[in-house]
Homo-oligomer: A and B are copies of this chain.
């Protein structure tokens, strides 16, 4: 069952490979009407499908791009994958999805494989631990866009949330409600993952702007399975907080689970705001106030930035785009 090749078509239609190739590339002006129809019929008859590998090898373009997410478990990652897939489908590209699992080794492996497979570009949520690799791509002028996280010194086009603002929106809201004792919980910040850092910075800055001194006991950065313990610590404090800012969707889940378990009433006993909107936020009891990331807008922007690099457009945009989050006011605060 050997596949049909362009040579088979050429022989069968009694023309040369090159003419068939011209046909495949819709350069009909290079052949007569008769030849065109003959080739058309032959392709139909043999059910021929061109081998894109061979074409890509010559043309140096695979119409494939790689998407390396840091952790596919986050709702945000899947939203981004979905939106990017959608964008590139419209442009005739395929996406290869890779999950680095927050593991720099895995990330490295993926990036190297993607480049070896000659993808036309990569959108990556960088773990931050492969500086050399990033630099090499940069110096090779390989199309690349960072998402969600920035690597300061690199000058790579980046799309991320205005994380400081995200935290600030939440703090402002809490303060508006007369709450000053605000805790923040994020997942681990090994390797200086920028969003987590920035959210904590934004939190501190916002508190200061309201003249509230921040209490370091109110700041918890822990692994997911350590969240219940962290919450217990916070609640055992002499001055327990009146509000919690959950740093991402997974943290929010754990926080809500904890409140449920310990029968702590939201928002009376504790006010809650989560960064990242979650599907159930609008019908949970109470409904949950969240800070929504414009995932689709961010994805489209990242895709466009990548496309302009792929198309070697002049606009060498290497800036960091910070998109604005939205406060979705609901009942949990």
A positions within 8 Å CB-CB of B: 1, 47, 49-54, 56-57, 62, 64, 72-73, 78, 81-82, 85-86, 89, 94-99, 106, 112-118, 136, 140-141, 253, 256-257, 259-261, 278-280, 282-285, 287
Of B1, B62, B82, B284, the contact of A280 (CB 8 Å cutoff): B284
A53 with B95, Cβ < 8 A, contacts A47-B136, A256-B280 known: no
Q: How far is the CA of A64 from the CA of B62 in the complex (A)?
A: 13
CB of A117 within 8 A of CB of B53, answer yes
Q: How far is the CA of A118 from the CA of B54 in the complex (A)?
A: 10
Measured between beta carbons, the chain B residues less than 8 angstroms from A53 are: 53, 56-57, 62, 117-118
How far apart are A89's CB and chain B's nearest CB, in angstroms? 8
CB of A96 within 8 A of CB of B98, answer no
Residue of B nearest to A73 (CB): B82
CB of A117 within 8 A of CB of B96, answer no
Residue of B nearest to A282 (CB): B257
Residue of B nearest to A51 (CB): B118
Of B73, B85, B118, B256, the contact of A52 (CB 8 Å cutoff): B118
Measured between beta carbons, the chain B residues less than 8 angstroms from A94 are: 96, 98, 113-114, 117
Residue of B nearest to A286 (CB): B285
List 6 interface pairs A-B (beta carbons < 8 Å), by A numbering: A49-B116, A53-B118, A85-B98, A95-B97, A253-B283, A259-B283
